[in-house]
A and B are shown apart, each in its own frame.
Chain A
Amino acid sequence: AQSVSQHNHHVILSEAASLELGCNYSYGGTVNLFWYVQYPGQHLQLLLKYFSGDPLVKGIKGFEAEFIKSKFSFNLRKPSVQWSDTAEYFCAVKTGGSYIPTFGRGTSLIVHP
């Protein structure tokens, strides 16, 4: 079965710092990749997704992610974080024609003003 690893469990940054959250998956075939954000007390919302084409994906709120097939990675980046980016971030993968997304454990991001 596929698995998704998010290596950073907790990240603390100051406003305007750059962000990179790691995501690796364990599947050698075709993948669909997602990043979700969960603000405190709220539901998961989609930040961005990759299905095919350009491996650099732009999402909402200035986030982007790069799919590197050779590294089985889909890291999330933002050049300058804001206090309002404080949230939990989840990477998810759908593999091999499956309709079921598998989620990583999540990364808690705290941005200090």
Chain B
Amino acid sequence: DAGVIQSPRHEVTEMGQEVTLRCKPISGHNSLFWYRQTMMRGLELLIYFNNNVPIDDSGMPEDRFSAKMPNASFSTLKIQPSEPRDSAVYFCASSPLSQGVNTEAFFGQGTRLTVV
């Protein structure tokens, strides 16, 4: 199994530009999470999808952030327009819903975003 695949691994962009982060969960996993990691705030949940449906997006910072999951094998996190304070490592994680709550989340390698 290839694990959770995220792209790009690194992204440097100018303030005001649109940024799109991509995630391919592990095949068969129907829970998907987007987390943001910063030195100041640690690991924060941004949004949680269950069977492609957003269940909890209370962690999405503001309207500049949006996430989609058009099918079971692909999700995107978009920031438009980007700001320097969005600089962070963004992790995607998935887990198999079929096992209920008794399962861990499997993390991707993360995307390190730098907004200058």
Contact = CB atoms under 8 A, between A and B. Distances in A.
Contacts of A44: 43, 91, 93, 107
Interface on chain B toward A: helix, strand, loop, or mixed SS?
strand
Contacts of B35: 103
B108 interface: yes
A113 interface: no
Interface residues of B, number: 22
Contacts of A77: none
Contacts, number: 46
Contact of B42 (A42, A49, A51, A106): A106
A90 B43 contact: yes
Given A34-B104, A106-B42, A100 B48 contact: yes
Interface of A: 32, 34, 36, 42-46, 49, 51, 90, 92, 94, 97-106
Interface of B: 31, 33, 35, 42-43, 45, 48, 50, 56, 91, 93, 95, 97, 101-102, 104-110
